[in-house]
Structure 1
Amino acid sequence: MKILILGGTGAMGVFLVKQLKSLNHQVVVTSRRDKISCKNITYVKGDAKDVSFIKGLLSNNWDVIVDFMVYSSLEFNERISLFLDNTAQYVYLSSARVFNNSKTPLTETSLRLLDSLEDKEFLSTDEYSLIKAKQEDVLKKSESNNWTIIRPYITYSENRFQLGVLEKEEWLYRVLKGRAIVFSKELCDKLTTMTHGLDVSKGILAILGNRKAFGETYNITTGTSYSWGEVLNIYLDILEEKLGYLPKVYLLESNKFIELVKNNYQVKYDRCYDRRFDNSKITKLLGDHNYIELKEGLRSCLELFLKKPEFLSINWRLEALKDKFSNEHTSLKEIKGIKPKLSYILNRYIK
């Protein structure tokens, strides 16, 4: 098959590309950075949000387009006909964050926030979970059925380690600098599901070119849930073994944590829900598949990451607030640039 992957360099895309490399499919992957092509994998540098760039790629006939990009409603509506008209199968990355709270394991037909919530203020926003649900509806209302919707939940890899709403730059960076993790006391008791990027990519692979998947939606998650407190303890155990010291943790009340992260809706309408999933639909396509156990998966990923830790940019305003809560201090030598230094000083010592 000829497969085009848009934005295929993230936690799921990297593993999908690795698997496709071992097969005989011809794969083109878009990237905003220069990457070395090899064997049957060709990287094309460009912005997959640029319509002219996309139109150039779509001049080829594709058997499958896998779309990992995040679009506004306007951007998606402008592109969807292009995608559906220029491929045999369009695979759209949605998210299991679209779901409302549920006392039973979530299936593909469980109630979504968009359809069942009464918070008008929230529903008037372009929050990620709502945008994804609206774009799902665009596909379902289209005249075509050559699409497949996939809904991963929280995916981890050797470059992505989430803790509640915190990315690695917001908690693991602090650990490696000897400072405390600042987290939510309330979230410690909430259930979540974390799935290795390799398992998600295998679910996607089972969908590619599969006509049974046309016009269908799949939750691609493990079926095992853990509390965020258990996830935190798994991280702590592995890090203590690898670093030789037990990282410190400072737990905040929910109102203080929301004030800190400024991510009220994701906390309120996702992380504060108990998330459990029924993954039987995708498992039927996967066949005899054993999902990677969380502790084993996090250990292997963390070991790889710790050999050469690399972080994206650090938000020094938030770091200052965390230091204020945990009564810690960051050396100004650690902070690069005058403006970040001033932001840290202002928020840590003056405000």
Structure 2
Amino acid sequence: MKIIILGGTGLLSASITKMCIAEGKEVLHFNRRNRRPAYDVQTIQGNRYYKGDLEKILNYRPDVVIDMLCFSEKDAELTVDVFANKIEHYVYCSTSCVYTPRISQDWSTEESETKPLTKYGQGKLQAERVFLEAMDKGLFNITIFRPGHIFGRDFLVNNLSFDGIYVLNRLLNNKPVVLTENGERNFQACHVDNVGLAFAKASGLKNTYGKVYNLSGEEEFTWNDIYLIEKELLNSNSQIIYKGTNQILSIDPIYFDFLKTYTKFDWKQSTKKLNSEIIGYSYNIGFETGLIKFISDNEEKIYLCENEKCLYEKILND
């Protein structure tokens, strides 16, 4: 089976590449060659948003195209224009941000309400609809994944922003760390290799055609749970300080946009459908196991990181 990944060098793409290779599948990347791939695969050079470049892919006769670079209705329409009746299976990476944000202990299923708060989520949802309409017309088969928040390699989020490494630095040095909403909001973090395995197993799998799947961490954690796990792994005596969401946003509403649009809500995605329908998939790397690996892989970065030091001083002195 030949798989072409639109992208290939990002956090998710690298893991998808690794897992597809492990499955014995031939993998090629399509991108602008701005970054070196993590694995030794052939790269087709081109701009995903230019039709003439995207058409180069057809010369390689892929069985599956995995799209990591589609963010809008326009992007999806270009895809349909190029690949209609020319490929068997298209796998699209959407996002959990398509769901309506809420404060609730209920699990979000693939049928839950989709009223995205952000432009990013709105664009992804519009693209989903274009792809599903293309399948309804018989133009190609589509599988859609809605990943929740992912971590691995050198990326880890925290309750306030995308810079989870700095929180680990504070924990390592026994300095106070901050949580909002009393640390009570639910959050799932999924290791990238779980995501890569799901994409690899679904590629070319006929019973996934026309389906949408949640793809997320499977443990039920609050932010308090997550920070306590991090404290234990780092043998930290740091105190957890609770601050109001609006108090944090008043300091820098742009930098803390992740808090405003995501972590002040509960995020609990059910993966029952994924586990029951994608043959061979299993949630192999739990949060704590993945976090141990992350800490080991990024030990020096954690030790040196001071990215949010000034912001933390403002928060704690406010």
TM-score by length of 2: 0.82
Q: For residue 120 of structure 2, what is the aligned residue in structure 1? A: 128
Q: For residue 268 of structure 2, what is the aligned residue in structure 1? A: 276
Q: For residue 12 of structure 1, what is the aligned residue in structure 2? A: 12
Distance in 2, Cα, partners of 1:61 & 1:311: 47
Q: Using a 3 Å threshold, how does the CA distance of structure 1 residues 221 and 56 change in structure 2: closer, same or farther? A: same
Distance in 1, Cα, partners of 2:69 & 2:206: 23
Distance in 1, Cα, partners of 2:88 & 2:170: 47
Q: Using a 3 Å threshold, how does the CA distance of structure 1 residues 20 and 288 change in structure 2: closer, same or farther? A: closer
Distance in 2, Cα, partners of 1:312 & 1:326: 18
Contact 1:3–1:65 at 8 Å: present in 2 too?
yes
Distance in 1, Cα, partners of 2:92 & 2:218: 22
CA offsets, 1:138-161, max 9 Å, x none? 222232351111011011112111
- SS of 2:225's equivalent in the other structure is helix
**Residue among 312, 322, 325 paired with 2:315:** 325
Q: For residue 196 of structure 2, what is the aligned residue in structure 1? A: 201
Contact 1:153–1:220 at 8 Å: present in 2 too?
yes
Shift of 1:180: 5.3
User: Does 1:252 find its partner at 2:210?
Assistant: no
Give the letter aligned to residue 209 of structure 2.
F
Give structure 2 stretches of 5+ with no counterpart.
none
Q: Using the TM superposition, name which of 263-272 and 5-14 deviates more.
A: 263-272
Q: For residue 138 of structure 1, what is the aligned residue in structure 2? A: 130
Contact 2:218–2:271 at 8 Å: present in 1 too?
yes
Give the letter aligned to residue 243 of structure 2.
L
Distance in 1, Cα, partners of 2:157 & 2:90: 28
Q: Using a 3 Å threshold, how does the CA distance of structure 1 residues 231 and 191 change in structure 2: closer, same or farther? A: same
Contact 2:14–2:37 at 8 Å: present in 1 too?
no
**Higher RCO, 1 or 2 (CA under 8 Å, sep at least 6)?**
2
CA offsets, 1:288-347, max 9 Å, x none? 734422112211121112156699995xxx75443323359xxxxxxxxxxxxxxxxxxx
- SS of 2:63's equivalent in the other structure is strand
TM-score by length of 1: 0.75
Distance in 2, Cα, partners of 1:191 & 1:15: 26
Distance in 1, Cα, partners of 2:42 & 2:304: 26
Radius of gyration: which is bigger? 1
**Residue among 156, 161, 164 paired with 1:166:** 161
Q: Using a 3 Å threshold, how does the CA distance of structure 1 residues 177 and 92 change in structure 2: closer, same or farther? A: same
Identity %: 19
**Residue among 257, 262, 271 paired with 2:254:** 262
**Residue among 209, 213, 223 paired with 1:228:** 223
**Residue among 28, 33, 36 paired with 2:35:** 33
Q: For residue 305 of structure 1, what is the aligned residue in structure 2? A: 298
Give structure 1 stretches of 5+ with no counterpart.
115-121, 329-351
Q: Using a 3 Å threshold, how does the CA distance of structure 1 residues 37 and 288 change in structure 2: closer, same or farther? A: closer
Distance in 2, Cα, partners of 1:22 & 1:140: 29
Contact 2:18–2:39 at 8 Å: present in 1 too?
no
Q: Using a 3 Å threshold, how does the CA distance of structure 1 residues 202 and 249 change in structure 2: closer, same or farther? A: same
Shift of 1:231: 1.0
Q: For residue 53 of structure 1, what is the aligned residue in structure 2? A: 53
Contact 1:5–1:27 at 8 Å: present in 2 too?
yes
Matched residues, number? 309
Shift of 1:4: 0.5
CA offsets, 1:104-144, max 9 Å, x none? 21111111125xxxxxxx5xxx6212211111112222323
Contact 1:180–1:249 at 8 Å: present in 2 too?
no
**Residue among 109, 112, 136 paired with 2:111:** 109
Give the letter aligned to residue 257 of structure 1.
I
Contact 2:182–2:242 at 8 Å: present in 1 too?
no
Q: Using a 3 Å threshold, how does the CA distance of structure 1 residues 222 and 172 change in structure 2: closer, same or farther? A: closer
Contact 2:161–2:255 at 8 Å: present in 1 too?
no
